[in-house]
Amino acid sequence: MATSTMDVLHFHHTPFYCEENVYLLCKKLCSDGIAKAEGSDLFVVFISNEKKQIPLWNQKASKRADGVILWDYHVICIQIKQGDVPPLVWDLDSTLPFPSPLPSYVSETIRPSFQLFSDYNRLFRVVHAPIFLRSFASDRRHMKDSGGKWVEEPPPHEPIVAEDGTVHNLHEYINISVADTITDVTISSVKDVIFTQKNGVVIKDNQLEEFICQLSSLE
């Protein structure tokens, strides 16, 4: 089944602030009726590892023909769908169709069949969007140098503050290690965690597609 694409310019994007871009993306998908009003069909996915060096392909910021770049972390949104429609990946930094079906995104951006040194293995923190939208906060301190100057220009909107008043917890999402990963990705074992825990669950790159498809079965 063909996936209809959208103009990525319809959504806010500040380079190097992918976590805030995805936060605003989720809000707009909900307000525009593209996702459910409360975002229950959306999941925010943080990609990183202990070394903070993860290769992803088909990225706009790359200077290579194959679009590969080494990010310290990256953030995307995955929307689960009903019936035979595959989950959709919303990646504002990708050169692939926007959104892209999860199977093609995995094969063209993550490329799990590509043999990587262990230092470059990707880990995925999957967080239910309604929880993320309530809990996430960033005062952008990670984008300032030791002298307090911006490393990259910040977004024009005010920093995001969590509902409980927290002003910064980005590190809780992007600090990901193998020790955090779950081994059993069956829905029966993780559904209580994924729908209740602020920091979601952490899985390995060869588990992503299976895990998301199981979430789709709950819709």
Q: Which residue among 30, 41, 74, 205 is the active-site one?
A: 74
Q: Which residue among 91, 93, 128, 205 is the active-site one?
A: 91
- C-alpha 97/C-alpha 211 separation (Å) is 22
| 8 Å CB contact between 139 and 159 | yes
Using a CB cutoff of 8 Å and minimum separation of 24, what contacts does 103-108 make? Answer: 103/209, 106/208, 106/209, 108/57, 108/58
- Give catalytic status of residue 74 as yes or no: yes
- C-alpha 186/C-alpha 208 separation (Å) is 12
Q: Amino acid identity of 182?
A: I
Neighbours of 63 (CB within 10 A): 7
- Give catalytic status of residue 84 as yes or no: no
Q: Helix, strand, or coil here: 62?
A: coil
Neighbours of 139 (CB within 10 A): 16
Neighbours of 102 (CB within 10 A): 21
- Give catalytic status of residue 91 as yes or no: yes
Give the catalytic positions in this structure: 18, 74, 91
